[in-house]
Homo-oligomer: A and B are copies of this chain.
Amino acid sequence: MVDTKFFGSAGEFKLSDLLELAEISDANLSSQDASKLIENAQVLDVAKSGDISLAAHKSYTKALSSTNAGVVLVSAALADQVPTGSVAVICNEPHISYVKILKILFPAKRHRLAIFPIIPDAAEPIIESGVSIANGATIGSEAQIGQGTIIGPGAVIGPNVTIGRNCVIGANAIIECSLIGDNVLIAGGTVIGCDGFGLLDFGKSNVKIPQLGRTIIQSNVEIGSNCTIDRGALDDTIIGENSKIGGLVQIGHGSKIGRNCLIAPMAGLAGATILEDSVLMGANVGTVGHITMGEGSIAHPRASITKDWPAGSKIAGSPAQDIKDLWREYAAVRRLAKGKKK
């Protein structure tokens, strides 16, 4: 569900009106379905009756089967998998249509998504006693900051951001569309809650998918300097309690980092990467999106992770494989190359 604290809602729409505005025709709705009220958008597994959701291709099948979404935009191939409680709207290009609908439901100016608003709102920030705010810091309207927290010089806290107690927000750090727990350290120059890299129609129109989620950083997390932690597209990016992240790390939109994880400097997690608890990512590890690293698994530096790995895995290489298999391959290639030298 899009948090209307961060992304202003245009209010409720009758489904037929919404589809018309988004130029989706031939939906063949019953009059009852046509008058269904929609006011928000959500991913399938947590959507409710007032939400519109998306099922664009077969990877969505499982979540689709048990969704409670009021309406689902679907490809024709998935249409008969939509549960009876949900209205199916068949689209040729469900992703593109969903983007149009998101822009109608949340017509925030592009500006609002990118930077701190310029014209001060009426509402003042809500700052507990014992907060220190340094020279040149900017605090947005209705931002909340807890006791004992320090905001460094030049730091920028966006409107409605919530920061807990005893946190340190480093110099020139930027935090938008985010909820931050207690005792969190965000080092200098890091950007939290920035736009994810989500686009459609690659190489042609390069349509940007509205980035309407949040970044949630749980207590006792530390994040190094000059990182970029994207907010979610619809579901949130989450960094779990007591996880520690080095400098120059990029976390893609909708990633979920468990508790007590370590992510070394220069690692990059593409969108929707899931790390279970106590995962260790070495320096400059990369992941493709939509993969899961099981609890306690270890990715050695520079591993390129391309698929799910179970709990306790130890992987390395590009593409990453079990480290024992990798060393076996290295040895085989080395023998091969030496043989050819003769």
Interface residues of A in 252-292 (CB under 8 A from B): 252, 260-262, 264-266, 268, 270, 277-280, 283-284, 286, 288
Interface string of A281-323 (1 = CB under 8 A from B): 0011010100000001000011010000000000000110000
Residue of B nearest to A133 (CB): B118
Q: Is the CB of B204 within 8 A of A260?
A: yes
Which chain B residues lie closer than 8 Å to A330 at the CB level? 319
- Asked if A191 CB lies within 8 Å of chain B CBs, one says yes
User: How big is chain A's contact interface, by range?
Assistant: 35 or more
Instruction: State the copy count for this chain.
Output: 3
A226 smallest CB distance to B (angstroms): 5
A329 CA / B341 CA spacing, docked (Å): 10
A340 touches which of B187, B246, B335 (Cβ 8 Å): B335
Which chain B residues lie closer than 8 Å to A296 at the CB level? 203
Which chain B residues lie closer than 8 Å to A301 at the CB level? 270, 286, 288, 304
**Which label, helix, strand, loop or mixed, suits the secondary structure of the A interface?**
loop
Q: Is the CB of A206 within 8 A of B268?
A: no
A154 touches which of B133, B154, B225, B304 (Cβ 8 Å): B154
Q: Is the CB of B228 within 8 A of A225?
A: yes
Interface string of A105-118 (1 = CB under 8 A from B): 00000110011101
Q: Is the CB of B266 within 8 A of A268?
A: yes
Which chain B residues lie closer than 8 Å to A226 at the CB level? 189, 191, 226-228, 248
**Interface segment, A36-44, A65-73, A165-173?**
A165-173
- Asked if A91 CB lies within 8 Å of chain B CBs, one says no
Which one of A134, A169, A334 has the highest number of Cβ atoms from chain B below 10 Å of its Cβ? Answer: A134
Which chain B residues lie closer than 8 Å to A119 at the CB level? 132
Which chain B residues lie closer than 8 Å to A278 at the CB level? 202-204
- Asked if A337 CB lies within 8 Å of chain B CBs, one says yes
Interface string of A88-115 (1 = CB under 8 A from B): 0000000000000000000000110011
A226 CA / B268 CA spacing, docked (Å): 14
Whether A247 touches B246, Cβ cut-off 8 Å, given contacts A116-B134, A174-B188, A260-B204, is: no
Those 4 A-B pairs whose CB atoms lie nearest each other, nearest first: A203-B278, A115-B152, A118-B132, A228-B247
A-B contact pairs, 12 of them (CB 8 A): A114-B152, A135-B138, A156-B171, A156-B188, A204-B278, A206-B260, A230-B247, A248-B248, A252-B265, A266-B286, A302-B304, A328-B341
Apart from A138-B171, A206-B260, list 15 A-B contacts with CB within 8 A.
A115-B152, A170-B174, A172-B174, A189-B189, A189-B226, A194-B225, A195-B224, A197-B244, A197-B264, A203-B277, A204-B278, A228-B265, A247-B250, A265-B268, A329-B333
Q: What is the interface of chain A, defined by CB distance below 8 A to chain B?
A: 110-111, 114-116, 118-119, 132-136, 138, 150, 152-154, 156, 168-172, 174, 185, 187-189, 191, 194-195, 197, 199, 202-206, 208, 222, 224-228, 230, 242-244, 246-248, 250, 252, 260-262, 264-266, 268, 270, 277-280, 283-284, 286, 288, 296, 301-302, 304, 318-319, 325, 328-337, 339-341
